[in-house]
Structure 1
């Protein structure tokens, strides 16, 4: 018997047949995502979320169009690639916790697409910033997915600390620590964009540098830094 904790609470998973575990995880993920989206549909909750998250004010009729897209997402299936880390966590641990951040990443991506589709009348600067947020977010998600693999972590450690990470127990401990950090931490994309712009950096390279700084801050206590 395994347990999975999400926004909805704690659910039990029958694991007498491991082939059935992914099916149960899909159901749990879908229910949690559906509940989070439903929460956004509270009185003006969606409009307030969009304004807070993307610095964009939407008219009520536009919010309804976005809401319809999110309802479609509520009833869609779970993408294995997007939620691979969640599946892996449940398969590796008897008691696991799936943070809501992984759901909001998908929700935010759909909202961004909707903002373009409905052709909202943004100030040019706001449109520019949304495009940049999308680029930074996609880059960050790609980097997170990479570092949470054995190969990705080993390559990072070798490049940063000049060490070969061969201890599998330590490797999986570090992956768990990184996963907990990235799926718990709420990303402030406005602050990231400010850092990139102030330092006159390319959006992708700036995103990579910020991500690297975060990973180093976590891993430095486990390795002796040899970088100047």
Structure 2
């Protein structure tokens, strides 16, 4: 079984961080959700719904299994491709001198292709979600990687596996990717000749890309030249 973990120090006291994690209005704000359910008691459902500009919303669902108010919570987290739910555990550790360390661990991914693609995505995006929480509580812009304003491809990835490259989950409407015919289910093997073996490969390339540049995307069955567009919020 595969697992991933990440942690983030946030310049806010533990009570404040816990409130932002558990209050539906605040979760909706820092994750930029269009709909949300936040569980309060074991057995309650969690639902995070994102609109990423594509034709299908991204929806995460889970069930709260354990909670120690102000300190920790654990969820049975639904992952397509797994016969059983995975487990997400989040701890909130009060730091000396103020601040809070949030530790997140996600375990139980199977070896099916879909689960491995999902694992690759979660392995990348959990860091982003904790950074979003930190930016919200520290009253600053959300930092992607190297920049606040990365160029846009319009590609919404499912995840990356060695045998498929980056699998496309969806494509933003009226985006550069849609313009050149990239569609859900496509497998992008390389960009400008650089193979995609994990999600980080895509984002490392994006860190150094600029709006207006043309890049060659090598797919399983064809190649396309895509012109990157400026960042829009």
What is the TM-score with the length of structure 2 in the denominator? 0.35
Larger relative CO (CA 8 A, sep 6+): 1 or 2?
A: 1
Structure with greater strand percent: 2
> Which of the two has greater helix per residue?
1
**Higher Rg of the two aligned structures:** 1
